[in-house]
Each structure stands twice: as structure tokens, then as C-alpha cells.
């Protein structure tokens, strides 16, 4: 039986404005995402250092988490969004002028502090303008801007790099982000009523109801960060040209599958999407580890999209619907604490695995292959956590979702 109403509109004017702003922000960041490992490598970084540079932004993202949930309860979300995007602009300027690893790490730390605010705020803003009966579908559609950015951003970034170099590429991203910051400041958002009885403390930045989905995101997001961090270097070690098309294949299949997956989650419940998604995600690492041609990498990108790409917004929906609407910023913050920890820990472990195999005499491409096989382990742990707890403790029911399993 279908839950909720099909008459509830997703594409309202506030949602469309947020979608556009989020697209520009994510496009600018994905445009330079593929450049980050190459820039670190050009500055003499080892595989471990590349992992550290990529994942270290999570240190400051986690450091600001205690303030994020509290800020969403007491500050206009549009102002928070504009301020955090301006922080990323500053980080991009530092990327543009970086001539050593130390400056690059400083820029990543600043970027991380901004990201600590950015993702929870945008997700909370989107959820507040979506009908509760179509929350999973709406969150899935909202994330399609990120999917398109994933498709075209890395390829555009690599093209800019080949044509103009690192400095111009990062400054182009900074210009796009500056435009997004101006647009975000112009969005109308209500002044938060605050949180009666909630002081600056534990409950202001962690929703205990959302801890289990956050744990699952730690496992899945951390594993996916291994893809983002090393896929370009891995493809080049295999002699594959145009490896940036991996991201295009990933995004194309998200565009095809995510709206349907969100609708299925709203109608039949989140497990229908999450369980098959995690299984497909694990399979994608097997395919990546064995890929030797561009076709193999494109197939891996498609399977990864059918895995991580469709279950990520479903897990985010689980977090958002576990609390009252007033605390969605806190729940979103909790979700991203798990994601930040995954981004911090697993790329460094992945880089260590690669370096260990290379030091033992393995060819670089074989070292990358072994690393991707090992990333099946956190995905398996995430699936087990979900199967054991199915969203954790008590949750406030949403008309779009089934009650928690007995």
C-alpha cells in the first residue's frame, strides 16, 4: 500500500533555489576533487601522504561539529550557508597558490572546517522545504545535483588542468563558489526559534536516534573515499586514458536510478533500497580491483552508483526522520560526524596498504588492486550494523516511512 500523498509537491521555488545553489557548490568541488591527489603527488607526496592530504579535512570538520548542531538551532540557515561557502572560497585560493605540502594541508583543514557546516546545513534546509510524505524521494532528487557534478566536474577539472594549470583551475572553482555564496545569502530562511532547554552541549550536536545511520555512513562513506582518492592514480597506473569518465559513468547511473530508488523507499520502506545497495557497493570493489581497461572502470562506476549512490540518500533520510523537524539539523550533523570519521580514517589506511605493498615489491597497479579488495571489509561491517539495528533506537514516525521493524 502506498504511504503518503502524490499531490505533495517536491519542486517548489525554495527547493529549486536550493537545488541550484547546491549544484554549483558541488560542481566546483568535484571539479577540483580529481586534481587534489595529482597536486599532492606533484609536490612529492607519497601514497600515505596523498591519503592524509585527502582525508585530513575531516579533522577540522569533526572539530567544528559541536558548534554545528547548536548553530542550526540559533542562526538563519541561509546565513550559515553563505558564510561556509565563503570559507571554501578562501581554501580554494590557498590551493591555487600552494607550493608545498604544508600549505596544501592548511588549505584542506580550512576546507574541512567549512564542510563541517556546509553539508548538514544544506541537507537540513532541503528537508525543511520537502513534504514529509515524499522525503526519501525529495532527498534523492536533491542529491542529483551532486550526481551531475560527479559526472562532469572531474573531467572539466582535468581539462582545465591540462590547459591552464593548477592555479587557474582552483581560481575558477573559487569564482563559482563565490557566486553560490551570494545566491545563498539571498535565500529567505526563517529565524530559528532556538531549542528550549537545549544548551551548548551533547544534545546540541548529536542526536542519539541517528547514531546507527551515522555508523553505517562511516563504513560506506569511508570506503567510497578510497575510490575518490585513488581512482585517477590507479587508472593511470593501468595505462587507462580518460579515467575521469569513471565519474561520468557513476553519475549517469545515479541519474537513472536515484529518483526511482527514492520513490521505492517512500512506498515500501528504506530496507528495499539500502540492503541491495550495500551488496552492490561491495561488488563494485571487486570489479574495480580487476579493471584493466576503460570499459572495466566504467562498469565499476555504474555498479558503484547502484550501490553507494542509491543507499546514501536513503541512510540520510533515516537520520532526518529519526527526530522532530526542529532537530533535523542536529540529526544531519550526527550523520556527517560518521561520514567525516570515515573520510579521515579510511583514506589513510588505504594509502598505508598501497605503500606497504609497493615497499614489498608489488607493482603500483597491483597495490591499488589489493587496496580496493580490502575496502569490501568496511562495507560488510556497515551492512551487518544495519541488519542488526535497522536504524537504531526509538524514532519519530514519518508518514512516508514504515514503523521500525520489531
Residue 53's nearest CA partner among 28, 65, 32, 36 is 36
3-class state of residue 99 by DSSP: coil
Q: Which three cell numbers stand for residue 99?
A: 607550493
CA distance readout (Å), 56 to 61, 218, 251, 285: 9, 15, 25, 23
Average pLDDT of the residues of the chain: 82
* Residue 405 predicted with pLDDT over 50: no
Residue 406 has a pLDDT of 29
Quote the longest CA-to-CA distance of the chain: 62
Distance from the first to the final alpha carbon of the chain:
19
What is the SS3 assignment for 224-257?
HHHHHHHHHHHHHHCCCCCCCHHHHHHHHHHHHH
* Residue 396 predicted with pLDDT over 50: no
CB neighbours of 249 closer than 8 A, spacing ≥ 6? 297, 298, 299, 301, 302, 305
Residue 241 has a pLDDT of 85
Residue 347 has a pLDDT of 84
Q: How many CB atoms lie within 10 A of CB 163?
A: 9
pLDDT digits (tens, 9 = 90+) for 376-389: 999 999 999 999 98
pLDDT band for position 399 (cuts 50, 70, 90): very low
* Residue 4 predicted with pLDDT over 50: no
CA distance 94 to 171: 9
Where are the strands (E) in 258-308, listed by range? none
3-class state of residue 129 by DSSP: coil
pLDDT digits (tens, 9 = 90+) for 108-143: 999 988 988 887 788 778 888 888 778 777 877 887
CB neighbours of 241 closer than 8 A, spacing ≥ 6? 294
Residue 224's nearest CA partner among 286, 304, 164, 156 is 304
Q: Which three cell numbers stand for residue 321?
A: 526522520
Q: How many residues does the chain have?
A: 406
Is 173 in contact with 32 (CB distance < 8 Å)?
yes
pTM: 0.69
Where is mean pLDDT largest: 142-146, 354-358, 391-395, 396-400? 354-358
CA distance 211 to 388: 13
* Residue 261 predicted with pLDDT over 90: no
pLDDT band for position 393 (cuts 50, 70, 90): very low
Residue 192 has a pLDDT of 64
* Residue 397 predicted with pLDDT over 60: no
* Residue 5 predicted with pLDDT over 50: no
pLDDT digits (tens, 9 = 90+) for 172-195: 999 999 999 999 888 877 776 655
* Residue 284 predicted with pLDDT over 60: yes
Residue 194 has a pLDDT of 53
pLDDT band for position 57 (cuts 50, 70, 90): confident
64: DSSP letter: T
- Least confident among 1-15, 129-143, 214-228: 1-15
DSSP 43-85: TT--HHHHHHHHHTHHHHHHHTHHHHHHHHHHS-HHHHHHHHH
Is 378 in contact with 346 (CB distance < 8 Å)?
yes
The alpha carbons of the chain give a radius of gyration, in whole angstroms, of: 20
pLDDT band for position 205 (cuts 50, 70, 90): low
406: DSSP letter: -
Is 217 in contact with 315 (CB distance < 8 Å)?
yes
Amino acid at each position: 500500500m502506498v504511504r503518503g500523498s502524490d499531490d505533495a509537491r517536491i519542486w517548489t521555488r525554495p527547493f529549486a533555489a536550493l537545488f541550484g545553489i547546491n549544484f554549483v557548490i558541488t560542481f566546483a568541488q568535484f571539479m577540483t576533487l580529481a586534481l587534489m591527489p595529482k597536486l599532492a603527488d606533484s609536490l612529492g607526496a607519497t601514497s600515505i601522504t596523498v591519503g592524509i592530504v585527502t582525508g585530513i579535512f575531516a579533522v577540522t570538520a569533526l572539530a567544528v561539529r559541536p558548534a554545528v548542531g547548536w548553530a542550526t538551532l540559533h542562526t538563519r540557515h541561509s546565513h550559515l550557508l553563505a558564510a561556509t561557502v565563503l570559507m571554501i572560497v578562501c581554501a580554494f585560493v590557498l590551493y591555487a597558490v600552494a607550493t608545498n605540502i604544508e600549505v596544501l594541508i592548511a588549505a584542506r583543514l580550512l576546507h574541512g572546517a567549512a564542510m563541517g557546516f556546509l553539508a548538514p546545513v544544506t541537507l537540513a534546509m532541503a528537508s525543511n522545504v520537502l513534504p514529509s510524505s515524499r522525503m526519501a524521494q525529495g532527498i534523492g532528487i536533491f542529491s542529483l545535483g551532486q550526481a551531475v557534478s560527479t559526472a562532469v566536474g572531474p573531467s572539466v577539472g582535468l581539462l582545465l588542468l591540462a590547459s591552464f594549470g593548477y592555479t587557474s583551475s582552483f581560481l575558477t572553482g573559487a569564482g563559482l563558489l563565490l557566486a553560490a555564496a551570494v545566491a545563498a545569502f539571498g535565500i529567505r530562511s526563517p529565524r530559528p526559534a532556538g531549542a528550549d532547554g537545549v544548551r551548548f552541549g551533547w544534545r546540541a550536536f548529536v542526536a542519539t536516534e541517528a547514531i546507527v545511520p551515522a555508523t553505517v555512513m562511516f563504513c560506506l562513506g569511508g570506503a567510497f573515499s578510497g575510490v575518490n582518492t585513488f581512482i585517477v592514480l590507479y587508472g593511470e597506473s593501468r595505462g587507462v586514458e580518460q579515467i575521469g569518465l569513471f565519474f561520468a559513468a557513476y553519475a549517469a547511473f545515479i541519474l537513472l536510478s536515484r529518483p526511482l530508488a527514492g520513490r521505492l523507499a517512500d512506498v515500501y520502506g528504506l530496507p528495499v533500497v539500502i540492503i541491495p545497495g550495500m551488496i552492490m557497493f561491495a561488488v563494485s570493489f571487486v570489479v574495480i580491483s580487476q579493471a584493466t581497461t576503460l570499459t572495466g572502470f566504467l562498469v565499476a562506476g555504474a555498479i558503484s552508483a547502484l550501490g553507494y549512490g542509491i543507499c546514501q540518500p536513503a541512510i540520510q533520510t533515516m537520520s532526518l526522520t529519526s527526530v522532530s523537524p526542529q532537530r533535523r539539523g542536529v540529526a544531519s550533523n550526527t550523520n556527517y560526524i560518521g561520514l567525516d570519521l570515515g573520510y579521515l580514517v579510511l583514506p589513510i589506511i588505504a594509502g598505508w596498504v598501497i605503500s606497504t605493498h609497493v615497499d614489498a615489491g608489488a607493482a603500483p597497479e597491483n597495490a591499488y588492486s589489493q587496496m580496493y579488495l580490502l575496502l569490501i571489509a568496511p562495507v560488510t561491517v556497515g551492512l551487518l550494523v544495519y541488519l542488526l539495528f535497522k536504524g537504531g533506537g526509538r524514532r519519530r514516525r514519518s508518514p512516508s516511512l514504515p514503523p521500525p521493524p520489531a
